[in-house]
Structure 1
């Protein structure tokens, strides 16, 4: 049981909030109350949690010796010895076969997207995260693949606005993560990632200015053309508040390094996201 709990921790459950983007497809295609499609979306979400968790297991197996030298990472189940490498490999093998076989049986295109995602994130862990600019863009592409998976599993049309907004918002989060990591290094509180040597605070600020304004504009343009557009424009303030609130948290509380924790811990941001989601559901389904 201890090994199983350790393996679940290795799969990083706190990171699974990123997979909620899979539900965007069913929400914005006006199928949220089609329970057959909703079950498919939930299945897709759970499978992507396994896909992403498997990548973390691979990463921790390969980086075991390096993690043992890190003050925090040495406490990870595999690095600390709580979970043996052999058990991790066996669990990984079973988990991969199970998840991909189920994905294939549910939807062939979903299976292909999941496989591409797994390969991309694995490449990121070992190669792409060391290439400047491409590192943050790869993170964003991973979110786009999640959004695409959420669409293909229920077999609806892919909205270009969904993909664009997903790409820009995830790029916004990734750039803030890099910026926060640089600030922690400047304070002597964090060991440097090699890729951070390629960035400067000025470069990151310039990139964030472009991405932040582009995110707001892309979402605004979506609302102009969406179903019930006159009312959907009323959700723009929630998006602007969410972006500003996140920037406030990053600058005042120094939590930009862990965006998944922000989404789970900041009450005003959680309330804002819930109000945005409820507003979208009400406008799209009841107006």
Structure 2
């Protein structure tokens, strides 16, 4: 580390201006991560319940509430880790660590969002929606405090966060959730989460452990174990999806639901290429970065849409 870098990191945080504070709060809320919350449409889409104005309005509301809940966790997490982040080569640029957002402000805004999101869900949606959001916030805060340091549990918590996103749209609209839908979504999420951890572990090994500070628990996992987890999760997700697709038949021109199995399996195989190389980062980045994978995803959406419409 150069003398200049040491001086920059040891310098007192700069005082935020009237414009930089709102921008810093927005950046801390991780706008790039909001794309994950599109999963709230998963259950209604699977049930073919997307084509009414009331449903669309409700799903937009649920998306906003889940985004607020997730942002609350990011704000509290960054406030809690501010000191450690200032010593990190990349995280030191985060608004809270850099002093753009004062730690007390991050705690206050995060705490307010954590309370308001479930409360608004109870008033505007259903009690179960509020309970699910409350459970999500509580689980994620427990993850930030301690669960991210517990082997296997950290994988389960992150996976459950994805599963809750996929469930909440159905819960808000009182749509029954298929067991195969839940299994496919859960193990599909575990596949992507463990593939990301595996990639981080591979990069850490290539860097002779220098990246261990970015996620300390990675030193406790072996690359062989993480490879086993993502391969197992991929297999279960494919099997569950096939059983789900075969469960119902249609009267359309072609068996679109069954044909969608091909696109789903191709997507898993394509994603596994990046997992095997150790280059599978955040799921949204992988899908948006790789054009063939994005194309396969669009084909799958088209096939499943035809199945739901029974064309």
TM-score interval w.r.t. the shorter chain?
Answer: over 0.9
Q: Is the 8 A contact 1:227 1:284 kept in 2?
A: no
1:224 — aligned with what?
Answer: 246
Give distance in 2, aligned partners of 1:239 and 1:113: 28
Residues 27-36 or 98-107, more deviating: 98-107
Structure 2 counterpart of 1:191, from 212, 215, 237: 212
- Alpha-carbon distance between aligned partners in 1 of 2:132 and 2:147, rounded to the nearest angstrom: 19
C-alpha contact 2:47 2:308 (8 A) present in aligned 1: no
Mean alpha-carbon deviation: is it higher for 276-285 or for 90-99?
90-99
Matches within 5 A, 1:86-165: 86-106=104-124, 107-165=126-184
With 100-109 and 192-201 compared, the bigger mean Cα shift is at: 192-201
Tell me the SS of whatever aligns to 2:212: coil
Q: Does the aligned pair in 1 maintain the 2:212–2:219 contact within 8 Å?
A: no
Match of 1:207 in 2: 229
Number of equivalences: 286
Match of 2:270 in 1: 245
Whichever of the two has the greater Rg, that structure is: 2
- Measure, in 1, the Cα distance between the counterparts of 2:261 and 2:119: 40
* Displacement after TM superposition at 1:27 (Å): 0.6
Q: Distance in 2 between matches of 1:227 and 1:68?
A: 56
1:49 paired to 2:67: yes
**Aligned partners of 1:82 and 1:76: how far apart in 2?**
8
More deviation, 260-269/35-44: 260-269
Asked if the contact 2:256/2:304 (under 8 Å) is kept, the reply is no
In the alignment, is the contact (CA less than 8 A) between 2:62 and 2:172 conserved in 1?
A: yes
1:121-179 CA-to-partner distances (Å, cap 9, x unmatched) read 11112211111111111111222222221111011111111111111001001111111
CA offsets 1:230-257 (integer angstroms, 9 cap, x no match): 43110011111111211223344x4323
Segments of structure 1 that go 5 or more residues without pairing to the other structure are none
User: Could you tell me how far apart the structure 2 residues matched to 1:121 and 1:27 are?
Assistant: 26
Query: Where do 5+ consecutive residues of structure 2 fail to align?
Result: 1-18
For 1:198-251, what per-residue CA distance to the aligned partner results, in whole angstroms no more than 9, with x for missing partners?
211222222222211111111000000135294311001111111121122334
Alpha-carbon contact 1:110-1:149 (below 8 Å) kept:
yes
Alignment partners' CA distance in 1, 2:172 and 2:237: 26
Cα–Cα, structure 1 residues 38 and 227, in superposed 2: closer, same or farther, change >3 Å?
Answer: farther
TM-align CA RMSD:
1.7
CA offsets, 1:80-121, max 9 Å, x none? 011112332332244334323321112211011000011011
How far apart, in 1, do the equivalents of 2:241 and 2:211 lie? 35
